Amino acid sequence: MNKRRAFTLIELLVVIAIIAVLMAILMPALSRVKKQARATACIASLKQWALMFSLYCQDNDGYFFTGEFGGTRNGQGSGAFWRNVMRPYSKNIKMWLCPQATKTRGGIPRGDWSYTAWENGGDVGSYGLNGWILNIAASKQSGNRNDGWGRTPADWHWLTPNVRNANQIPVFTGSWWVDSWPRENDQPPPTEAGPADTPNSNEMNRVCVDRHDGFLNSVFCDWSVRKLGLKELWTLKWSKGYDVEGRWTKAGGVQPSDWPVWMQRYKDY
């Protein structure tokens, strides 16, 4: 009767080594697949947001938010002007979060900010509104639109999605803050972590977040949704007064070496 032959120690070690090599080969591929799945889920979520923004505009004579809520400007710096208004349209809390950025920044090193969400007033999210879309309201005190909520000049705001080249006007993008008012001369973030927030200055940094390996996703005024290269952000028509051929575009003469080191490997636009 034949006895079963046991594995030798060397044979077991060889098997373990082979498994380790296979795991080392497969893990990066699995990681890429997971990131691609999250990017696809992000696109799907933003398509729902596009529908909701469209419904809001239909319900409000074709116009965007005024920048006020409840007849007052109080607290609007926290983005309440769109968050409170859109809450009835977006009751599923998961819709507020890009699958790649579901955790808040509290206690997380700044080097991880591109994968983190904002937290404000009990809300958590990882998308932000382009503030230049506002149907800016005049201040009740002065009657001047430039004193209303938003950045000046007031005439740079879009007011409505029913404009020319709507497919180049961002409405809602991946972001590490609730809103932003980008300008063509805004400097790119020096690191992937981004700089400390500077309201009313360099606000492109709020949306220049490396969510999907050199890309992030955006809703546009024609309600389309697509991914954007990080450098492409500077070529979009954020406001009526925005120069799409500014110094951070190929048309404006930017050189690859002008970008921060962490962005130099990404596609130029």
- Identify the band that residue 238 occupies on the pLDDT scale cut at 50, 70 and 90: very high
CA atoms within 13 A of residue 46's CA, in its CB half-sphere: 29
User: Taking Cα atoms as reference points, which of 109, 105, 130, 133 lies closest to residue 119?
Assistant: 105
Residue 205 lies in a domain: yes
CA distance 176 to 204: 11
* pLDDT value at 226 more than 90: yes
Residue 167 lies in a domain: yes
- Taking residues 135-157, report their average pLDDT: 81
Please list the residues that pair with 217 across neighbouring strands.
227
- Identify the band that residue 33 occupies on the pLDDT scale cut at 50, 70 and 90: low
- Phi, psi angle pair for 114, to nearest 5°: -65, -20
- More confident of the two residues 166 and 1: 166
Residue 112 lies in a domain: yes
- Identify the band that residue 267 occupies on the pLDDT scale cut at 50, 70 and 90: very high
For every residue of 23-63, DSSP letters joined together read: HHHHHHHHHHHHHHHHHHHHHHHHHHHHHHHHHHHHHTTT-
* pLDDT value at 91 more than 70: yes
* pLDDT value at 241 more than 90: yes
CB-CB neighbours of 99 under 10 Å: 18
- CA angle, 216 as apex, 193 and 126 as ends, to 5°? 65
Please list the residues that pair with 229 across neighbouring strands.
215
156's tokens = 């740079």
Residue type, 155: D
- Identify the band that residue 111 occupies on the pLDDT scale cut at 50, 70 and 90: low
What's the pLDDT score for residue 216?
96
Residue 2 lies in a domain: no
CA distance 140 to 93: 34
Q: pTM of the prediction?
A: 0.85
pLDDT over 70 percentage in the chain: 86
* pLDDT value at 3 more than 90: no
Segment among 80-84, 121-125, 137-141 with least mean pLDDT? 137-141
**96 in helix, strand or coil?**
helix
CA distance 121 to 72: 17
Instruction: Tell me the range of 35-49, 128-142, 165-179, 191-205 where mean pLDDT is highest.
Output: 165-179
Residue 189 lies in a domain: yes
What is the H or E stretch that residue 16 is in? helix 9-59
Contact of 52 with 88, CB cutoff 8 Å: no
What's the pLDDT score for residue 72?
59
Residue 195 lies in a domain: yes
What's the pLDDT score for residue 192?
84
Domain that holds residue 253: 11-263
What's the pLDDT score for residue 25?
73
> Using one digit for the tens of pLDDT, what is the confidence trace for 68-77?
776 655 556 6
* pLDDT value at 196 more than 70: no
* pLDDT value at 164 more than 70: yes
What is the H or E stretch that residue 9 is in? helix 9-59
Residue 4 lies in a domain: no
Residue 145 lies in a domain: yes
CA atoms within 13 A of residue 197's CA, in its CB half-sphere: 12
User: Taking Cα atoms as reference points, which of 67, 58, 102, 61 lies closest to residue 85?
Assistant: 67
The number of folded domains in the chain is 1
- For the chain, the average pLDDT equals 86
- Identify the band that residue 219 occupies on the pLDDT scale cut at 50, 70 and 90: very high
* pLDDT value at 152 more than 80: yes
